[in-house]
Amino acid sequence: MIGTAFMDRSANNIQGSYCNIIRVIFSNISDVLCSQVDKKIFSHINIEKATRICNMLKTEDKNRSLYAEMLLRTELCFRLGLKNVDLSFCYDRNNKPSVSNDDKIHFSISHSGEYIVVAFDDHPLGVDVEAVKDFSAVRIANHFFTSNEIEELKKTSGYDLNKKFCELWTRKECYGKLTGLGLLLPLDSYSFIKIEPTVYSVLDKEDEKKQYYCTTHSINDDYIISACYSMKRPVVFNEISCIEIMELFMKLI
Sequence letter at residue 50: A
The pLDDT, as a whole number, for residue 2 is: 36
Whole-angstrom Cα distance, residue 224 to residue 216? 7
**Residue 58 sits in the same domain as residue 78:** yes
**Residue 111 sits in the same domain as residue 235:** yes
Report the domain count for the chain: 2
Q: Residue 3 pLDDT > 60, yes or no?
A: no
Q: Residue 8 pLDDT > 70, yes or no?
A: no
Q: What angle do CA 186, 64, 10 make, to 5 degrees?
A: 100
**Residue 119 sits in the same domain as residue 3:** yes
Whole-angstrom Cα distance, residue 60 to residue 71? 16
**Residue 5 sits in the same domain as residue 117:** yes
pTM of the predicted structure, to 2 decimals: 0.91
**Residue 199 sits in the same domain as residue 239:** no
**Residue 106 sits in the same domain as residue 214:** no
Whole-angstrom Cα distance, residue 186 to residue 205? 11
Domain that holds residue 44: 1-123+231-253
Whole-angstrom Cα distance, residue 42 to residue 199? 38
**Residue 236 sits in the same domain as residue 206:** no
Dihedral sign for Cα atoms in the order 69, 66, 4, 119? negative
**Residue 42 sits in the same domain as residue 88:** yes
Tell me the pLDDT tens digit for each residue of 169-199.
Answer: 999 999 999 998 887 889 999 999 999 999 9
Q: Are 143 and 183 in contact (CB under 8 A)?
A: no
**Residue 208 sits in the same domain as residue 197:** yes
**Residue 95 sits in the same domain as residue 143:** no
Tell me the pLDDT tens digit for each residue of 35-94.
Answer: 998 888 999 998 989 999 999 999 999 999 999 999 999 999 999 999 999 999 988 887
**Residue 223 sits in the same domain as residue 163:** yes
Alpha helix locations (H) across the chain?
14-17, 47-54, 59-80, 137-144, 147-154, 158-179, 242-251
- CATH number of residue 188's parent domain: 3.90.470.20
Mean pLDDT across 126-150: 94
Q: Residue 155 pLDDT > 80, yes or no?
A: yes
Whole-angstrom Cα distance, residue 140 to residue 207? 25
**Residue 70 sits in the same domain as residue 144:** no
Q: Residue 17 pLDDT > 70, yes or no?
A: no
Sequence letter at residue 205: K
